[in-house]
Structure 1
Amino acid sequence: MKLRSIELALPDPAGAAAFMTHIWGMAPAEVRGDTHYLRGSGPFPYLVAFEKADDEFVRSTTFACTAEELSGLRQRIADAGWPARPTRSEDPGEGEGILVELPEGEILRFLVGAEDVEPIAGRDLPVKLTHVVFNSADAEASGHAVEDVLGFRVSDRTKGMVFVRCNDSHHSTAFARAGFSSLNHIAFEMTDIDAVMRGIGRLRDSKLAPAWGPGRHGPGANVYAYYIAPFGPVIEFSTAVEKVPDDYRVGAPKDWIWPPNRIDQWGISDKDFEGLRVAEERFRFRRDWDAAPIGN
C-alpha cells in the first residue's frame, strides 16, 4: 500500500496552486473545472488537489492499494461499523475503491486500478508525499484503531505523536497528541538533503522562513523544514525517511528524549510553536456523503 495524494477544499484553489508551483516547487498536472491538481517527479498522477469551496477542509487522503488489500479493508471496516461507501475516482489516474471515515473524522480513500504516469525530470520537484499527519483528540486510540481495522502498524510513540506505517517507510501518517482533530501537516519527499536545502533557499528568496527547521527528526530520522503556507496548512520539505523491517521494535516516549533546549537530532532548529498551532487547527475534516454498503 502507498500514500498517494491529499485532496483539500478551500476558497482560492488557483492561488494555492500558484504558490505551490511557482514558489514551493511542484509541477501542474491538470485543471478540471475549479479543481487544480499538482504533481511531483514520480509516477503518481498528482500529489495534491485543490478544490474550490466556501470553507477550508480536508476532502480526503488517498492511498493506492492492491485488490487483495482492498478486500481485507472492506471486511474489517464493515466489521468495525465505520461509515464508508464505494467510490469511483474522478481525479487524474481514476481508480475505484472505498471512502471511510475514521473515528475522529479523518476521511481516507483507498483505490485500486489507479493509473500511474511517466515520471518527469526536475531535481527540485518533490518525488511524492512521504506522510500526512493528523491532529487527534486521542492519538493512542487512533493508532490502535488503524492497526486493528486498516492493517497499518505503529512504528513509534513519542510524547507528541503516534507514528504509523502502511509499508516499510517508517510512517505514512501519524497522530499528534493535540487534543483536537484536524490536519497537522503534509510532507513532501525530496530527492536528497541538497534538494531540501535548495527549497529553503528558494522560499527565502520569497521572504519566507521555516516555521521549524532545518533539522533531523528522531523517529523516522528524516531531514525536515516546515513552513506555514500562505493559504493555510503546514507543509514540509522532507527526505531520507527511515525504512523499517517487519520486526522493528516500537519505540516508546522514553526512547525519544532530547537534551535540554533541543528538539531534534542536530539541535540547531528553532520552532514557531504558536504559529504552527494556529495553522494546524485550520483544516478540519468533513464528510458530505452518506454511508453505503461496501461489500466484503
Structure 2
Amino acid sequence: MKLRSIELAMPGAADAAAFMTDIWGMAPADVVGNIHYLRGSGSFPYLVALEESADSYVRSTTFVCTADRLEQLKRAVSAAGLTAAPATSDDLGGGHGIIVELAEGELLRFLVDAAEVAPIEGHDLPVKLTHVVFNSADAEATGHLVQDALGFRVSDRTKGMVFVRCNDSHHSTAFARAGFASLNHIAFEMEDLDAVMRGIGRLRDQDMAPAWGPGRHGPGANVFAYFIAPFGPVIEFSTAVNKVPDDYQAGAPEDWTWPEKRIDQWGMSDKDFGGLRAAEEKFRHRRDWEAAPLDA
C-alpha cells in the first residue's frame, strides 16, 4: 500500500494552486471544473487536489493498494463497524475502492486500478507525499483503530504523536496528541537534502521563514522544514525518512527525549508553536457521502 494524495476544499483554490506551483515547487497536472490538480516528479497523476469551496476542509486522503489488500480492508472495516462506502474516483487517475471515516472524522480513501503517469524531470519538485499527519483528540485510540481496522502498524510513540506506517516507510501518517481533530500537516518527499535546502531558500526569497526547521526528527529520522502556507495549512519539505523492517520495535515516549531546549536531533532551529497550532486547526474533516455496504 502507498500514500498517494490528499484532497482539500477551500476558498481561493486557484490562488493556492498558484502558490504551490510558482513558489512551493509543484507542477500543474490539470484543472477539472473547479478542482486544481498538482503533481510531483513521480508516477502519481497528482499529489494534491484543491477544490474551490466556501469553507476549508479535508475531503479525503488517498492510498493505493492491491485488489487483495482492498478485500482485506473491506472485511476488517466492516468488522470494526466503521462508517464507510464504496468509492469510484472522479479524480485524475480514476480507480475504485472504498472510503472510510475513522472515529474522529478522518476520511481515508483506498483505491485499486488507479492509473499512473510517466515521471517528469525536476530536481526541485517533490517526488511524492511522504506523510499526512492528523491532529487527534485521542491519538492512542486512533493508533489502535488503524492497526485493527486498516492493518497499519504503529512505528513509534512520542509525547506528541503516534506514528503509523502502511509499508516499510517509517510513517505514512501520524496522529498528534492535540485534543482536537483536524489536519496537522502535509509532508512532501524531496529528492535529497539539497532539494529541501533549496526549497527553504526559495521561500525565503518570498520573505517566508520556516515555522520550524531545518532539522532532523527523531522517529523516522527525516530532515524537515515546516512552513505555514498562505491558504492555511502547514506544509513540510522532507527527505530521507527511515525504512523499517517488519520486526521493527515501536518506541515509547521515554525512548524519544532530547536535552533541555532541544526538540529535534540537530537543535538548530526555533519552532513557532503558536503559529503552527493556529494553522493546524484550520482544515477539519467533512464527510459528504452516505455510508453504504462495502459489497455494493
Query: Which residue matches 2:213?
Result: 213
> How far apart in 1 are the matches of 2:269 and 2:208?
16
Query: Which residue matches 2:226?
Result: 226
Query: Which residue matches 1:122?
Result: 122
Q: Deviations over 1:139-175 (max 9, x none)?
A: 0000000000000000000000000000000000000
* Code of the aligned partner of 1:122: G
Segments of 4+ moved more than 6 angstroms: none
> How far apart in 1 are the matches of 2:28 and 2:125?
11
Query: Which residue matches 1:196?
Result: 196
* Code of the aligned partner of 2:4: R
1:295 partner SS: coil
CA RMSD of aligned residues (A): 0.7
Runs of 5+ in structure 1 lacking a partner? none
Query: Is this contact kept in 2: 1:75–1:295, CA < 8 A?
Result: no
Q: How many residues of Structure 1 are paired with residues of Structure 2 in the alignment?
A: 296
2:115 partner SS: coil
Query: Is this contact kept in 2: 1:185–1:233, CA < 8 A?
Result: yes
Query: Is this contact kept in 2: 1:133–1:174, CA < 8 A?
Result: yes
Query: Which residue matches 2:170?
Result: 170
1:22 partner SS: helix
Query: Which residue matches 2:137?
Result: 137
Residue 76 of structure 1 and its aligned partner are, at CA, apart by 0.6
TM-score, normalising length: structure 1: 0.99
Query: Which residue matches 1:257?
Result: 257
Q: Deviations over 1:194-244 (max 9, x none)?
A: 000000000000000000000000000000000000000000000000000
> How far apart in 1 are the matches of 2:77 and 2:249?
27
Runs of 5+ in structure 2 lacking a partner? none
Query: Which residue matches 2:42?
Result: 42
> How far apart in 2 are the matches of 1:84 and 1:247?
31
TM-score, normalising length: structure 2: 0.99
Residue 295 of structure 1 and its aligned partner are, at CA, apart by 1.9
Residue 269 of structure 1 and its aligned partner are, at CA, apart by 1.3
* Code of the aligned partner of 2:139: A
Query: Which residue matches 1:13?
Result: 13
